[in-house]
A and B are shown apart, each in its own frame.
Chain A
Amino acid sequence: MKLPALLPLFCAALALPAMASGDELGPERRAELETLLYQDCGSCHGMTLRGGLGPALPRDRMQGFSPEALAHIIQHGIPGSAMPGWKALLSDAEARWLADHLRTDNRLETLAD
């Protein structure tokens, strides 16, 4: 029987969802998310995040939201507005990474920049 050899793998798989957070994303995926944020979210929020059809997303404004709230908006959108939910394209961990990025090191610190 080869089962015992597979057990550790199985356990590791079980543990994965609990570990899911932005930190676990590889550098390649993080780079893709950054492109997504500035280029594709940028279609509405502006490539420099200074706003367009959607509002501006400067760091100081993003800090007014909890990371959980931002991740929720990214995943589920804002009903009645043009903001779509990105759940079909992003995992919870990826949305959380974007939320953290918006709050801590996004390229636009404040609108006054």
Chain B
Amino acid sequence: MPLPRPLKPLAAIGALALLLTGQVLAEAPGLNGELRGTGDLGVVIERASGSVALVDTTRREVLRHIEGFGDLSHASVKFTRDARYAFVFGRDGGLTKLDLLTGEIAERILQGGNSIGGAISQDGRFVAVGNYEPGGVKVFDTETMELVIDVPATYQRPDGSTAQAKVVGVVDVPGNVFVFSLFEAGEIWTLDMSRDEPELTKHRDVGSMPYDALITPNGRYYIAGLFGEDGMALLDLWHPENGVQRILPDYGQNDYGQGEQRLPVYKMPHLEGWAMAGNRAFFPAVGRSEVLVADTRDWSLTNRIAVHGQPIFVMSRPDERQVWVTFAHPLNDKVQVIDTQTLEVIATLEPGDSILHKEFTPRGEHIWISARDSNQVVVYDTRTFEELARLPAESPSGIFFTHRAHQIGL
């Protein structure tokens, strides 16, 4: 049907406007007041320059490099419930709220002396930060960034004196609860934020030097890796009354008895990239060039998979068909892929120098890998292992995509 005459010029102007914005979008989508979603956005930490790269995973582009995040030498990111904002946890205790749509820092506070990461509560109201200095957890309101509660990680040393432990492995679990571990104290604490008066529960003697922790995708099991001994500490959050149980307690002992030494650990493994496939769980072995496989029905050790070096991140593709592994210094030049059915290494990739972190796109068709000393993020097709893109980033480390906003514990 022909348009009534008076409307024609208007329609033409509309088309022109569309054309113009289309051109602007090609340069910086979403950062010029245009409507867009955040579901395919992400943040790459640029550790040497205290900046982040805001990325678009559909277009495989860096939209903008944003500075002013302080010391990002060990940083992590959590997304708000609406995936509009990213909270960046810096080494210097900085907690920075980044607006993904404007590409600008919305707010920034220095909440501690030295921090390691944090979590956002199930209801999205609270952001908890785990601190090394002073050891403990601080919880803030995600909207106002005001302090809600300060929980010092106070524990008693063997000589009776008290100290504050470094906090590691802060995650959120269903019921608006935060869970975290105390490195020097060997304790796991839960902080229930669902009550008017937050309630703290302590599990003591969980094992020596928990260095990081993970939560299963359903939020049921909290598992802390132990540095001071072989094995891991498991808390069943469906049955916290049963206390903390040790699992895989002797994964190294058989071999140590035959003269094999635990290798020096040049970088602590990260457990957050939880890898699960069916009834199997995949863990990095501390001090060994192996990925351990446990049966999640009874947490027994079923397999050890020999890999290129000491694993740092062991992460399963969202469909659980593959597990991707990165390694500690000095063998951090490769990435290996394990088939979760055959338990064989099916691919070894060399994206660049000093591989640190990796992240799957939400449905797992691509993986983004940071090559720190190559100053690049490399994108692969996870089915064909074809390299799709190389993006510039300054000493890139952690890579975080917004779909984490809707996953338990991430």
Query: A interface vs B, CB < 8 Å?
Result: 35-36, 39-40, 42-44, 46-48, 50-53, 77, 82, 84-86, 88-89
Instruction: Indicate if B114 sits at the interface (CB-CB under 8 A).
Output: yes
A44 with B91, Cβ < 8 A, contacts A51-B114, A52-B116, A53-B183 known: no
- Asked if B91 and A52 sit within 8 Å, CB to CB, the answer is yes
- Asked if B264 and A46 sit within 8 Å, CB to CB, the answer is no
A35 with B74, Cβ < 8 A, contacts A50-B91, A51-B114, A82-B209 known: no
Instruction: Indicate if B265 sits at the interface (CB-CB under 8 A).
Output: yes
Chain A hits for B395, CB < 8 A: 39
* A46 to B372 alpha-carbon distance, docked (Å): 15
* A50 to B329 alpha-carbon distance, docked (Å): 21
Given A47-B74, A51-B133, list of 20 further CB < 8 A pairs? A36-B329, A39-B372, A39-B373, A40-B267, A43-B74, A43-B329, A46-B73, A48-B92, A50-B91, A50-B92, A50-B114, A51-B114, A52-B73, A52-B91, A52-B114, A52-B116, A82-B265, A84-B265, A89-B266, A89-B330
Q: How many A-B residue pairs have CB under 8 A?
A: 66
Residue in chain B with minimal CB distance to A44: B268
Identify the interface centre among B48, B73, B116: most chain A CB within 10 Å of its CB. B73
- Asked if B354 and A53 sit within 8 Å, CB to CB, the answer is no
- Asked if A47 and B267 sit within 8 Å, CB to CB, the answer is no
Q: Mark B84-100, 1 if CB is under 8 A from A, else 0.
A: 00000001100000000
- Asked if A84 and B266 sit within 8 Å, CB to CB, the answer is yes
Chain A hits for B71, CB < 8 A: 46-48, 50
Chain B hits for A77, CB < 8 A: 264
- Asked if A47 and B91 sit within 8 Å, CB to CB, the answer is yes
Main SS at interface, chain A = loop
- Asked if A85 and B92 sit within 8 Å, CB to CB, the answer is no
Q: Mark B324-365, 1 if CB is under 8 A from A, else 0.
A: 000001100000000000000000000000100000000000
Kindly identify which residue among A47, A50, A82 contacts B211, using a CB–CB cutoff of 8 Å.
A82
Chain B hits for A46, CB < 8 A: 71, 73-74, 91, 114
Query: B interface vs A, CB < 8 Å?
Result: 47-48, 71-74, 91-92, 114, 116, 132-133, 166, 183, 209, 211, 227, 264-268, 329-330, 354, 372-373, 395
Q: List 21 A-B contacts (CB under 8 A).
A: A35-B373, A39-B48, A39-B354, A40-B266, A43-B268, A47-B47, A47-B71, A47-B72, A47-B91, A50-B91, A50-B114, A52-B116, A52-B132, A53-B132, A53-B211, A53-B268, A77-B264, A82-B211, A84-B264, A84-B265, A84-B266
A51 with B132, Cβ < 8 A, contacts A40-B329, A46-B73 known: yes
Q: How far is the CB of B229 from chain A (nearest CB, A)?
A: 12
Chain B hits for A50, CB < 8 A: 71, 91-92, 114
* A41 to B48 alpha-carbon distance, docked (Å): 14
Q: How far is the CB of A7 from chain B (nearest CB, A)?
A: 37
Chain A hits for B133, CB < 8 A: 51
- Asked if A42 and B132 sit within 8 Å, CB to CB, the answer is no
* A43 to B116 alpha-carbon distance, docked (Å): 11
Chain B hits for A39, CB < 8 A: 48, 354, 372-373, 395
Chain B hits for A40, CB < 8 A: 266-267, 329
Residue in chain A with minimal CB distance to B373: A35
